[in-house]
Structure 1
Amino acid sequence: MKAKPLRRLFIGFLLMAVVSTLSVATPAHCGKCNIHLLTGSEYFYALRDAIDGAKHSIFLAIYLFKTDNHPTNRATGILNALLKAAKRGVETTVIMERSDDPESFINVENEKTGRRLLRAGARVYWDRPDRKLHIKAVVIDHHLIFLGSHNLTHSAMKYNQEMSLMLNDDRIASEIINKISRFPKTPFKRQP
């Protein structure tokens, strides 16, 4: 009987600690930005439309970008939008995860996608193999940000329970680009 009140007390203290840590560690500086929560398919349509509308730049850091040749594959739809953007002169930069195992599923899928992006004129980079790039971030034209749990896979954009935010904020966009750009990385080349 005494275990339940103690457990509730412990959970309460733990919750307070997490909330207070988040409020200190994650200051909100979003002034007049618009923030939209994107779940399920909403992410795919919003991101694809934003890439199609990009004028100057697209900056993308992603853990997994898995495409295929099926015409309804949503990750392939994002890839096609990126290829078109790069070909129309939009500066397109993509940083992808690379593990130290050249035959890992992540490496194989990211390499297939990276080769296509490189051929279209995008700047493509591998993250360091000794660190895990688990970020899922896109910044378009230095102000429109997509940040959340969505990998660029068909499953993430159609079936999985995922949540991401879309927001407009020049300062936060610059911070994201600057921080990720400082990560050690190597120019994309085919795995040995």
Structure 2
Amino acid sequence: FNNAIIDAAKRNITVKVITQPETTRKILKENGVDIKEFQSRKTIHTKLMIIDGQIIIVGSHNYTKNAFNLNEEVSVITNEPETVNRLKQYFDNLWSLY
């Protein structure tokens, strides 16, 4: 999954990531991805993807092979405008904190 993010950034697609794992931050940042580190005693467990500002994917899964192939996970994909706007606001609020 990191490779897909890096490929998008190299094609000048705006990619913003809020993450905790240092290894993920380092790899993505070295490849031109705009990264913010989630700094809190809490764990950021939300997996939220906003595509072109119009489609949201949100769910419990990590973006790993095991999560997609071995785990029982649930995610939702929507383009419903009110839901998209609320989740964009959620992301933008987190982004502005860091």
Using structure 1 for the length normalisation, give the TM-score.
Answer: 0.46
Q: Following the alignment from structure 1 to structure 2, what is the Cα–Cα distance between the partners of residues 85 and 179?
A: 23
Provide the secondary structure at the position in 2 that maps to 1:138: strand
Q: Which residue of 2 aligns with 1:169?
A: 80
Q: Following the alignment from structure 1 to structure 2, what is the Cα–Cα distance between the partners of residues 174 and 122?
A: 23
Q: Is the 8 A contact 1:150 1:163 kept in 2?
A: yes
Deviant stretches of 4+, over 3 Å: none
Q: Structure 1 residue 122 and structure 2 residue 45: aligned?
A: no
Q: Is the 8 A contact 1:128 1:185 kept in 2?
A: no
Output aligned runs, 1:39-188, within 5 Å.
78-97=1-20, 110-183=21-94, 185-186=97-98
1:161 corresponds to which letter in structure 2? E
Shift of 1:121: 1.3
**Any unmatched runs of 5+ in structure 1?**
1-77, 98-109, 187-192
1:172 corresponds to which letter in structure 2? T
2:67 corresponds to which letter in structure 1? A
Shift of 1:135: 0.7
Using structure 2 for the length normalisation, give the TM-score.
Answer: 0.85
Provide the secondary structure at the position in 1 that maps to 2:37: strand
Q: Following the alignment from structure 1 to structure 2, what is the Cα–Cα distance between the partners of residues 126 and 133?
A: 10
1:147 corresponds to which letter in structure 2? V
1:83 corresponds to which letter in structure 2? I
Q: Following the alignment from structure 1 to structure 2, what is the Cα–Cα distance between the partners of residues 116 and 154?
A: 18
Q: How much is the aligned-residue C-alpha RMSD, in angstroms?
A: 1.7
- What is the aligned residue count? 97
Greater gyration radius: 1
Output aligned runs, 1:3-42, within 5 Å.
none
